[in-house]
Structure 1
Amino acid sequence: MKIIVSGGGTGGHIYPALALIKRLQQRQLLDKVLYVGTKSGLEEQIITKENIDFQALKLQGFKRRLSWDNIQTLNLFLSSIKKSKQIVREFQPDVVLGTGGYVSSSVVFAAHLLGVPTVIHEQNSVAGLTNKFLGHFVDKIAYAFDDVTDQFNEKNKLVFTGNPRAQEVAGLKDNQRLTEFDLQVKVPTVMIFGGSRGAAPINRVVVQALPHLSQKDYQVLFVTGKVHYEQVLAQIKPHQLAANLKIVPYIDDMPAILPDVSLVVGRSGATSIAELTALGVPCIFIPSPYVTHDHQTKNAQALVKKQAALMIAEKQLTSDKLVKMIDEVLSNHALQQQLAQNARKLGVVDASDRLITVLEDLISTVS
């Protein structure tokens, strides 16, 4: 299979694409791959690190209100379609996949104009603007949350695949990584983190909760995010750092530690949810209210209504409420089991293979 993959801006668009590429490689189905992104997002750094061919386009996102910037954005979009057509003609892919972010709009649209099979993948419960636009033109729309299906008119194109990131982590086992942080392997452990960059509102409440958490019979691994780490440490008094509390800026290969923890407290991005449900890890979600269309709240609610997770809205987050909810989960084995089992039911551990089937079927119909 020769494939062009495009997605950018955030890890939520990039990591599912990368997981799919790796699975194609594992199954020896990949003849050649080209990733198209921008230089302003995270994609170039992440993708080139994996020794995957990368080309960059110059685009920017549309503003959601009338703005002169949108004229420049439109000009960039039109010129990027011309460049994308050139890329597609030169590479001659069997199929083009877009995973979201404005960069994928021109690549996938250009492929459509040239008659190349196209697929988009929507990771969230609220469809992004790019995917809603592309939904009119692509051959198939793969999705991970049932709630998103109402947001596409092209019902005959919809295919449930789940998020490829789920399959990538599904086989992870306990590996005693807690010892890296001087924590005990057999003691219940809650990991608190606000995403790869951290989240200041979560950090602030956790710092307030430390005096209470230091007295618990469970362990706390608090991941602040690199940009917040020094600021968090400056707020903590030495006596609050009990042996059951560890504070770190970042954890390399975060998914690998998930099988070792009893509970995760954090944001509800699509990639996190894919990983956590694939492994059946109990969660307390604190959705970011700052993302487009508040989609993290809707992501979390999709699990809450299936009794697969708990949730605290950020505006309702207090140290007392957080500690009380953590205590409730870690002191109640039946509740832990319920959350874990229901989460695992929602995990799609063959998501990459499902998406590969969509790609193969589409290629076969035009060959």
Structure 2
Amino acid sequence: MKIIVSGGGTGGHIYPALAIAKQIIEQHPDGKILYIGSGKGLEADIVPKAGVDFKAIEISGFKRSLSIENIKTIIRFFRAVTESKKMIREFGADAVVGTGGYVCGPVVYAAAKLGIPTLVHEQNVIPGLTNKFLSRHTDRIAVSFSGSAQYFPKDKVVVTGNPRATEVAKADPEQGRSSLAVRPSRRIILVVGGSRGARAINEAFLQAVPELATKKDLHFIYVTGEVHYQKVKEQLEKHEIQSNVSVYPFIYNMPQVLAATDLIVNRAGASFLAEITSLGIPSILIPSPYVTNNHQEKNARWLEEHGAATVILEKDLTGPSLIESIDHIMMNKTKWFEMKAAAKKLGEPKAANKLYEELKRLVSK
């Protein structure tokens, strides 16, 4: 089986694509995967490090206002389609998978025009522009949330979940707990600012720390992001923080740490939500207000509506509001168990396998 995958711009598009690639190779050890992305995107660095063959095309996204740059983007799109057709033919692809981001637009479109089976995967509750466009041309549309199905042609949609969930669902919680050196009697609350950090989350957590440090049955794992680590560490040292707060710039074994987590405070990226629901982790979500089409708030509200999360908008985030939300969940066992069950119900730990089965059906037609 020879499969081309494409997606880029953010890890939310890249990691699901790599999870799909991994599942295909597990099922077909002699299979071949080619990843087509942008030479300027994160995928150009992440994909080769994952051991997947990578080729780049030149493409850019549309501006959301009338602009002369959009005319140039249209020209680049059709050039990229021509480039993609050449790569698809040379590789001899059996199918092409797109996971979002503008780079997968010309790749999936080119495959459709060549009559090659195509599948796109939508991670967010509200679809992105690229997948909306591709929905008219692709053979199958896989979605992470059932609420996304209404935005696509009914006869093409299948609810699979997000393939990132499959990898995280297999993680060992004991490995996660031992790597953090947390006492067995303490419940773990993971606070994450993202790989680059989130200033608003950092500020609220620092404000809340004096009171949080008094909750000895809880252990707070605080991931600041590399950018903010030194500054946050210095401020925490001024508080003479006790042994129930640990600070890290980044966590490399995140699946294992997530598996050991009892409550998480984080942004609301689609892949992250797939990971925590696959494990049934209650969450306090602080959507980034800087994301295109306000995807994160829509994702977060979906979990909140189903009882799996509490949402705090960044404009309302303070130390006291964070403490109140943590107490509301962790000091009420019934509430915690209800949220855990609700999150687990939304999770799709076999998402990668479901996507593979859909892909196999397309190829065998």
CA distance in 2, matches of 1:185, 1:11: 33
| Unmatched runs of 5 consecutive residues or more in structure 1 | none
Give the 3 Å change call, closer, same or farther, for CA 240–294 of structure 1 in structure 2: farther
Q: Which residue of 2 aligns with 1:42?
A: 42
C-alpha contact (below 8 Å) 1:24/1:30 kept by paired residues: no
Structure 1 residue identity aligned to 2:55: Q
Q: What's the CA shift for 1:237?
A: 4.4
CA distance in 1, matches of 2:316, 2:347: 28
Structure 1 residue identity aligned to 2:325: M
Instruction: Please state whether the residue corresponding to 1:33 is helix, strand or coil.
Output: strand
Q: Within 5 Å, give how 1:70-149 maps onto structure 2.
A: 70-149=70-149
Q: What's the CA shift for 1:150?
A: 2.1
CA distance in 2, matches of 1:328, 1:321: 11
C-alpha contact (below 8 Å) 1:210/1:240 kept by paired residues: no
C-alpha contact (below 8 Å) 1:6/1:107 kept by paired residues: yes
Q: Which residue of 1 aligns with 2:204?
A: 205
Structure 2 residue identity aligned to 1:141: I
Total equivalences in the alignment: 364
Q: What's the CA shift for 1:200?
A: 1.0
**Matched-pair identity in %:** 45
Q: Which residue of 2 aligns with 1:214?
A: 213
Structure 2 residue identity aligned to 1:177: G
Structure 1 residue identity aligned to 2:187: P
C-alpha contact (below 8 Å) 1:185/1:260 kept by paired residues: no
Q: Which residue of 1 aligns with 2:170?
A: 171
The Cα offsets for residues 172-226 of structure 1, whole Å up to 9 and x where unpaired, read as 2212434444432330121100222221111111111111111112111111111
Instruction: Please state whether the residue corresponding to 2:119 is helix, strand or coil.
Output: strand
Q: What's the CA shift for 1:27?
A: 2.0
| Unmatched runs of 5 consecutive residues or more in structure 2 | none
CA distance in 2, matches of 1:2, 1:105: 20
C-alpha contact (below 8 Å) 2:25/2:32 kept by paired residues: no
What root-mean-square deviation, in Å, do the aligned CA atoms of Structure 1 and Structure 2 show? 1.4
C-alpha contact (below 8 Å) 1:211/1:240 kept by paired residues: no
Give the TM-score, by structure 1 length.
Answer: 0.96
C-alpha contact (below 8 Å) 2:35/2:53 kept by paired residues: yes
Q: Which residue of 2 aligns with 1:354?
A: 354
Give the TM-score, by structure 2 length.
Answer: 0.96
Q: Which residue of 2 aligns with 1:185?
A: 184
Give the 3 Å change call, closer, same or farther, for CA 30–18 of structure 1 in structure 2: farther
CA distance in 1, matches of 2:69, 2:253: 38
Structure 2 residue identity aligned to 1:40: K
CA distance in 1, matches of 2:86, 2:17: 22
- More displaced stretch, 179-188 vs 210-219: 179-188
CA distance in 1, matches of 2:116, 2:65: 33
Q: What's the CA shift for 1:43?
A: 0.9
Instruction: Please state whether the residue corresponding to 1:227 is helix, strand or coil.
Output: coil
Q: Which residue of 2 aligns with 1:155?
A: 154
